């Protein structure tokens, strides 16, 4: 009994244990299944999200494709610009190096020139070269429109030798001097000169130019050349040289004019010389007009003579026609009458010809210049007055004067 109960208890215990084990395993399986389903759902959502993200990425990639191409082109262009920039910076560096070398060379040459110009002979030669350049640039020709280093004697008996003498129409002359002082001006622009020293040197430069004006006035260059205006041109070979002196001494220009000296910078002298060139052109036009007037007068006289010859020829032709008509009348009334009578008597087979007098007379001259001898002198005077009047508008002298007498 006890054994049976024990076996039954063991069986029941085994069943209960198996049931419990089954329930435990089932609950574990159910838990794992639920976890698996939850994980499946999560993975399915992630897959859906990844697929949606891939679709979005594809759309974005499609939209960004042109931008990607543009960015690529920009990157290539930026690369090209960078290469060009590097190349240009290298070239610019080379150019800056060359400019630096040129500047140093120019500074050295300028210093050499300034040192050379400190000598009076070199300054004078440089001023003469500048003067010759301005003369040639203005269109004047050496030894024709101007002469250099002309030696002459003034009214004081002193020998003068101006740098240039500009020739004017009518054997007139204008004297130009180019030995203006500039030593203090060059010293004032030195690198080591202070402001106080520069002001003192510029004042000394203005004083030296005033003394030079007095020296030119004392020489009286214009007395050494006949028919020369009482003035001498003091050529200052630099605009800044003259402007600096006038700035320090404002009354210098008026003082020079009162002493019959004209201070002229290159620009001022160029304008004066161009005016002189225009005077020469006007003189050439005047001479051509005078020659044209003489030719016109000669042609007018020849036309008058030709008119007389034509009138004589017309009168001769009129007399010839008149004599011809008389001859025809005599032939008709005296000779052909007998010839017709012989034809009527059948002594000849041909009838004598009929003659008609000429009725066309030579055309008479109607031009007053060719026919009216009495008023010809008055017309000549009126013509010459008209020509000379138009010539005065062009700068010609009036008829009857010493320079423009009608021939």
Asked if residue 135 lies in contact with residue 124, where contact means CB atoms within 8 angstroms, the answer is no
Round the average pLDDT of the chain to a whole number and report it. 75
Percent of the chain whose predicted confidence (pLDDT) is above 90: 0
Asked if pLDDT for residue 399 goes beyond 60, the answer is: no
Taking only the tens place, the pLDDT of each residue in 11-47 is 677 777 777 777 777 777 777 777 777 777 777 787 7
The angle, 0 to 180 degrees and rounded to 10, between the axes of the packed helices 266-330 and 120-137 is 30
Asked if pLDDT for residue 211 goes beyond 70, the answer is: yes
pLDDT band for position 404 (cuts 50, 70, 90): very low
Asked if residue 266 lies in contact with residue 238, where contact means CB atoms within 8 angstroms, the answer is yes
Asked if residue 174 lies in contact with residue 241, where contact means CB atoms within 8 angstroms, the answer is no
**Distance, CA of 164 to CA of 146 (rounded, Å):** 7
What number is the average pLDDT over the span 167-193?
A: 80
pLDDT of residue 393: 43
> How many residues are recorded in the chain?
407
Strands (E), 57-216: 146-148, 152-153, 159-160, 164-168, 172-177
What number is the average pLDDT over the span 246-275?
A: 86
**Distance, CA of 120 to CA of 115 (rounded, Å):** 11
pLDDT of residue 323: 83
pLDDT of residue 405: 36
112 versus 221: the higher-pLDDT residue is 221
How many Cβ atoms are within 10 Å of 225's Cβ, its own excluded? 20
Starting at the earlier edge strand, list the strands of the sheet with 261-264.
146-148, 164-168, 172-177, 232-235, 261-264
| Pair of tokens at residue 303 | 């036309």
Asked if residue 217 lies in contact with residue 260, where contact means CB atoms within 8 angstroms, the answer is yes
């Amino acid at each position: 009994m006890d054994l049976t109960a024990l076996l039954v208890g063991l069986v029941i215990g085994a069943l209960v244990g198996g049931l419990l084990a089954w329930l435990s395993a089932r609950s574990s399986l159910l838990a794992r299944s639920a976890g698996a389903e939850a994980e499946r759902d999560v993975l399915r959502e992630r897959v859906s999200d990844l697929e949606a993200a891939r679709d979005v990425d594809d759309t974005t990639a499609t939209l960004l494709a042109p931008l990607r191409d543009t960015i690529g082109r920009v990157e290539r262009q930026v690369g090209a610009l960078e290469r060009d920039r590097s190349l240009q910076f290298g070239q610019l560096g080379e150019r800056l190096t060359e400019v630096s070398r040129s500047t140093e060379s120019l500074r050295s040459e300028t210093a050499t020139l300034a040192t050379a110009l400190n000598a009076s002979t070199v300054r004078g030669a440089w001023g003469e070269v500048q003067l010759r350049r301005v003369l040639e640039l203005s269109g004047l020709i050496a030894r024709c429109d101007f002469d250099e280093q002309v030696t002459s004697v003034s009214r004081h008996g002193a020998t003068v030798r101006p740098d240039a003498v500009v020739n004017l129409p009518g054997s007139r002359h204008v004297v130009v001097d180019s030995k203006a002082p500039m030593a203090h001006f060059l010293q004032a622009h030195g690198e080591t000169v202070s402001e106080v020293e520069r002001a003192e040197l510029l004042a000394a430069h203005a004083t030296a130019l005033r003394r030079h004006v007095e020296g030119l006035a004392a020489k009286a260059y214009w007395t050494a050349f006949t028919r020369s205006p009482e003035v001498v041109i003091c050529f200052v070979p630099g605009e800044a040289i003259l402007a600096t002196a006038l700035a320090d001494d404002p009354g210098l220009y008026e003082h020079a004019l009162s002493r019959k000296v004209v201070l002229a910078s290159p620009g001022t002298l160029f304008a004066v010389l161009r005016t002189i060139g225009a005077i020469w052109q006007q003189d050439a036009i005047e001479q051509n007009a005078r020659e044209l007037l003489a030719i016109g007068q000669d042609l007018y006289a020849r036309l008058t003579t030709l008119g007389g010859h034509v009138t004589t020829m017309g009168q001769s032709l009129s007399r010839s026609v008149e004599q011809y008509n008389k001859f025809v009348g005599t032939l008709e009334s005296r000779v052909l009458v007998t010839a017709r009578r012989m034809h009527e008597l059948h002594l000849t087979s041909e009838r004598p010809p009929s003659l008609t007098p000429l009725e066309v007379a030579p055309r008479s001259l109607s031009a007053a210049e060719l026919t009216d001898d009495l008023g010809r002198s008055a017309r000549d005077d009126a013509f010459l007055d008209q020509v000379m009047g138009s010539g005065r508008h062009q700068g010609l002298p009036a008829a009857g004067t010493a320079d423009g007498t009608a021939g």
